[in-house]
Amino acid sequence: MTLRVGIVGGSGYTGGELLRLLIAHPNAEVTQITSREGAGQYVYTRHPHLRGASKLTFVHPDALEACDLLFLALPHGVAAREIDRYAALAPAIIDLSADFRLDDLAAYQRWYGEAHPAPAWLDRFVYGLPEVRRDQLRGAHYASGVGCNATAVNLAILPLARAGLIERVSAALSVGSSEGGNQPNDGSHHPIRSGAVRTYKPANHRHTAEINMISGVRVDFSVTAIEMVRGVHVVAHVYLGQPVTEKELWKLYRGAYRDEPFIRLVSASTGLHRYPEPRIVAGTNYCDVGFAVDEDDPQHVVVIAALDNLMKGAAGSAVQCLNLMHGFDERAGLTFTGIYP
């Protein structure tokens, strides 16, 4: 079985990542990819690494045709306002925006500052993180995207949250410039961005709602932009209701993630790469997770996680959802292991 797939909003970074992954997918063929500004141009004019890999040209969104599945890689708010049109074109949709992530209308209004544009659709979408919604994604017709920052935090703390051990979490995130998308702005101007360590969201990040929804615990976190293109790096200080040992942590995390194809535990006592690093997972669908127990306070655990915001935090998880929704091998199209150094 080969799915005919369309990508709406294909000129951005996540659109390019989707195309890169699906070109090599054994069960999917991208038949159309849209861009208003790029209509009529070859996709490699916007995604130069795909020169020779695809002969597709961008089509205008108004020329979109029916297919088996649509990926929506659109700015916030657009998918929700046009969801009826897209649903008429494809029986399955994976939306990479924040439009259908939250399962509560009041939470959406609080965090996004407006009433949801398509409230009747909200409960039709399955939250698109396979590690927490795998069973619901199998056979589903609609899946939401995931927030890259929320995903990194959730995967870092989820085993502790599920065990009911967490009393409080404080996390610091360092992120790359690709989180800002491919449209330049004052903050992305090279003389301003280069060498920067800019904390742009010290509190009340929108992804807080997503973390609360999935982990069930309150997490305070800050986000700082650093000189890195791809990646999210989390250092989470987790305060527990009881002391733990490192051996108990290993048992807990291994039990939670031993069967997860894209979670790797990285916590070593020696060597250069003892804990997760964004550079190691760049271009891959992996999330690396590590941890350490505070020797002076065994109720204080530091959990470290790293993922590629464009991959496990966006396009990679979306393709993983496609695989689950259609009964394919969950790893299909996602086996790239990264490069080193």
Q: CA 175, CA 187: separation in Å to the nearest integer?
A: 14
Contacts for 178 with CB less than 8 Å, ≥ 6 apart: 13, 229, 230, 309, 310
- Residues annotated as part of the active site: 148
Q: CA 334, CA 319: separation in Å to the nearest integer?
A: 8
Q: Are 20 and 47 in contact (CB under 8 A)?
A: yes
Q: CA 93, CA 98: separation in Å to the nearest integer?
A: 14
Phi first, then psi: what are they for 144, rounded to 5°? -90, 165
Asked, as a colleague might, if the bond just before 341 is cis with ω within 30 of 0, I would say: yes
DSSP-assigned beta bridge partners for residue 95: 72, 144
Of 300, 308, 294, 306, the closest CA to residue 170 belongs to: 300
Orientation angle between helical segments 105-112 and 207-215, nearest 10 degrees: 150
